[in-house]
A and B are shown apart, each in its own frame.
Chain A
Amino acid sequence: MHSFARTHATEVALIAVIAVICTVLSFATTNFFSIGNAFDLLNTSSVNIIFAVGLLVVLIAGGIDISFAVAASVVQYGTAIALGWIGGGGWVSGLVIAGSIGICLGAVNALLIHRFRIISIVATISTFNIYFGLLMFFTKGVSIYDLPEWLTDRVVLFEHEMADGSWIEITLPVLVMVLCVIATWVLITRTTTGRQLYAFGDNPEGARRFGINIGAMQFIAFGWLGLMAGIGGLVQAHYAQEVVPNALYGRELDVLAAVVLGGARLGGGKGSVLGCVLGVLLIAITQNGLNLMGVSPFAFKMIVGAIILIAITLSNTSIERLLPFVTQKGARR
């Protein structure tokens, strides 16, 4: 335990930054620091966290994926159509169908990367365009509103009215998110496969010399992200109560930024589920706070971008290097 701060420096720093932002916001706004708002944040962040833990696995294995968010849109359409064929279905069949389509789309990326030796950013930018193009072409940009009732009905697992009149709610997306987070945590920290993924991302040549199956690593990493994208896509359709072809377009970069903010390294071998969740929450809290403070939504992206830059600079660079005059003055005295 003594070395937790040393081995989890990013996570500790993120918790500190979140604490500072929360403190500032609780003074600057009237209703930020309420339990109701905290649960609200959790409900709205669920889909991004599901995407983020999936992307984390790919980053740990040394890859990157730009296509998962539009793949999730493809999953939404595919699942809606398949559910129509089987006459409605339910949450179980819905998740199985969505997860399977997601895995297939992820496997396409893994195939391109492993079999045809295309680097992951190029492969997934291509599939991003192909998936989105196919989606727009076949749907002609038309949204689906007549989803099965089970999918659009809000499922509240727990609710409680607070003394101040606000409501605490835990909805189905939160439960699904928690399950995805736990499953990913088990995969990457508790199974031999997960450790092989870390090793492969850390030193691919070293991993190869140990006889680790490189192809399997790519399929597991991109397949896992596909699964998470599929589940996240279905949950997002549930949350939005509609399927819109470009609803998730652009989400990939928000999630990527959050995961990198959470300490995952582009290049592999590094990253944790906790950091990843904290990264998503930090951005969500900032946006939520800005919203409550009445800042124009048009400024959000700019401010969030600046926060990501500052946080990553701080975690990469020690204070002395950023402020050289501090140490020099000290040395002269």
Chain B
Amino acid sequence: MQQLAPTGGSEKPLLSLNDINMTFGGVKALKNVSFDVRPGEVHCLAGENGCGKSTLIKIITGVYRPADGASIEYDGEVYSHMSPVTAQDRGIQVIWQDLALFPEMSVAENIAFQTVLGRWPKLVDYGRMRKIATDALQRLGITLDVDLPLKEYAIAQRQIVAIARALVGEAKLVFMDEPTASLTQSETDHLLDIVRGLSAAGVAVVFVSHRLAEVLEISSRITVLRDGALVGVYPAEGMTQSRITELMTGKTFDQEVRATARQDQPVVLDVKGLSRPGQFDDISLTVRRGETLGITGLLGAGRTELAQTLFGMLQPAAGTITLEGKPVHFSSNRDAIKAGVAYLSEDRLSLGLIQPQSIADNLVISSLGKIVSGGFLSDERKRKLVAGWIADLGVKIGLQSDAISTLSGGNQQRIAIAKWLATDPKLLILDAPTVGVDVGARAGIFDIVAKLAETGLAIILISDEVPEVYFNADRVLHMAQGRIVGSYDPRSVPLAEIEGAVYA
């Protein structure tokens, strides 16, 4: 892969990082990364999940301390590491993905929050607070009732409140971590206008987003990271979405489409006209024996709600679910498990596994019935069952009695899969199975998925990373705003076309 020459700029950078290394528990999260931002530019930081983007942001904002030898040059001064206080004092602001706002407090207080900070108590000047908030919102061209509690506003307005708060801090450099992830298209357009306005006013913005279309639209330069290393810095002009994807993944061409036709197989799951108001609408789909159906789409498209409905955790308002020819009506996920549906949740760490408990106990939690002997749980049966699955899935563990939290992300994910396989499911729903899993371990997980499909299991694979479903599913459905808006066969449609549709 030839590397474009970094764009030469006559302007002196506002921020320039060199020789950044960071290691977490033996894993190198960043390897000799350098990064620079010019005053007033919109700079995009691109890379797959786990490539080191957030680590880099946390180093610049002082949350993490990089390994020795690093140099951080910001606005004329050189630091070996930042501290959160220095970063804020010097005008570096971050709009975190979780926004770090205070929902019960008023909009004015949220925006002018710095006025209540300080070591010693002072009287609160609500008039000044309101003025600061109104001014900041005015700069963004927005009107909100600053006296209302923030919780009265939807996520798009909260995003704007977070941006307004960053402006109050006399920001010179603003990081936005996935600011558009939960916004609709028109809200996104508005946000991009705001970003352009900031840039015109001399504020540099570092933009992190999965939506490549908006990255190309908004930024002047793009820094690409892959597996903790710098791939390069490229001008946005002349760049294409597929080229960025290629740079980010580095394996577009060496990955093979696994899709095969399964039309001759019997239908396992047949869903017709399934709806839940405000979440998804008129969803119809089928999954056959041995088939892997991929569902992709942006956050808030209704994917997870659909999965939870198929798993009985939510009840549909309309529509039918037919499992192996029998109409089913799950009033809870217990019914769904009994009927042969397994669901690997999106938030594996908090919902899927019980972190302090042992590997063995986590694995058997959904299939306790199988290890009962004479009315009591049998340790011997448990040990055998666990040993079998660990061998089958190639999980690397110490002892069965070790806490699950001692395992790496990839191995935890395998245990979570094994837990569900132990219930002998007919249908396995995998919701974002690679979130928080490093690139190497991902391939391993998809190998397992492919093997499971060969044994006749019907699989629904949900992911917001299009390449993941493209290369690992037999068919790909695109969900947007609660509806299925496209259906693709990876064998006949190029990846870029699906990505274009999803990230548009």
Contacts and interface: CB of A to CB of B under 8 A. Distances in A.
B103 A190 contact: no
Contact of B121 (A7, A192, A198, A207): A192
Interface in A155-199: 189-196, 198-199
Given A190-B124, A192-B122, A210 B113 contact: yes
A207 B115 CA distance: 13
B117 A212 contact: yes
A7 B102 contact: no
B118 A192 contact: yes
Nearest to A268: B104
Nearest to A205: B100
A189 B104 contact: no
A129 interface: no
A209 B84 contact: yes
B216 interface: no
Contacts of B148: 3, 6-7
Interface string B129-156: 0000000000000000101110010000
Interface string B95-126: 01010111111000100011111110111100
B103 A202 contact: yes
Contacts of B115: 192
A191 B123 contact: yes
Residues of A in contact with B, size category: 20 to 34
Given A191-B122, A191-B124, A210 B117 contact: yes
A195 B124 contact: yes
B104 A211 contact: no
B485 interface: no
A203 interface: yes
Contacts of A209: 84, 96, 100
A198 B149 CA distance: 12
Contacts of B113: 199, 210
Contacts of A206: 100-102
Contacts of B122: 191-192
B157 to A, nearest CB: 16
A62 to B, nearest CB: 11
Given A6-B148, A7-B147, A210-B117, A203 B123 contact: no
Interface of B is mostly: loop
Given A192-B118, A210-B117, A199 B105 contact: yes
Given A3-B145, A192-B118, A211-B84, A202 B104 contact: yes
Contacts of A6: 148, 152
B117 A198 contact: no
A199 B152 CA distance: 17
A269 interface: yes
Nearest to A187: B121
Nearest to B104: A269
A270 interface: yes
Contact of B102 (A193, A194, A202): A202
A199 B116 contact: yes
Given A202-B104, A202-B105, A270-B104, A192 B149 contact: no
B85 interface: yes
A12 B10 CA distance: 63
Contacts of B116: 192, 195-196, 199
Given A3-B145, A190-B124, A192-B117, A211 B85 contact: yes
Nearest to A4: B147
Contacts of A212: 117
Contacts of A270: 104
A269 B85 CA distance: 24
Contact of A195 (B84, B101, B103, B109): B109
Given A199-B116, A210-B113, A191 B121 contact: yes
A199 B109 CA distance: 10
B124 A198 contact: no
Interface in A186-233: 189-196, 198-199, 202-203, 205-207, 209-213
A45 to B, nearest CB: 27
A205 to B, nearest CB: 7
A205 B122 CA distance: 23
Contacts of A207: 102
B304 to A, nearest CB: 23
Interface in A1-31: 3, 6-7
Given A210-B113, A210-B117, A212-B117, A198 B123 contact: no
Nearest to A271: B104
A194 B101 CA distance: 17
A203 B149 contact: no
Contacts of B105: 195, 198-199, 202, 269
Contacts of B119: 213
Contacts of A3: 145, 147-148
Contacts of A211: 84-85, 88, 117
A191 B120 CA distance: 10
Interface in B240-256: none
B20 to A, nearest CB: 22
Interface string A127-162: 000000000000000000000000000000000000
A195 B96 CA distance: 22
B144 to A, nearest CB: 12
A7 B118 contact: no
Nearest to B63: A209
Interface of A: 3, 6-7, 189-196, 198-199, 202-203, 205-207, 209-213, 269-270
The 5 lowest CB-CB distance pairs between A and B, nearest first, are A206-B100, A195-B116, A193-B121, A269-B104, A192-B116
5 contacts: A7-B147, A7-B148, A192-B116, A212-B117, A213-B119
Given A3-B145, A206-B102, 10 more contacts: A3-B148, A191-B124, A192-B115, A192-B124, A195-B109, A198-B102, A202-B102, A202-B103, A209-B84, A209-B100
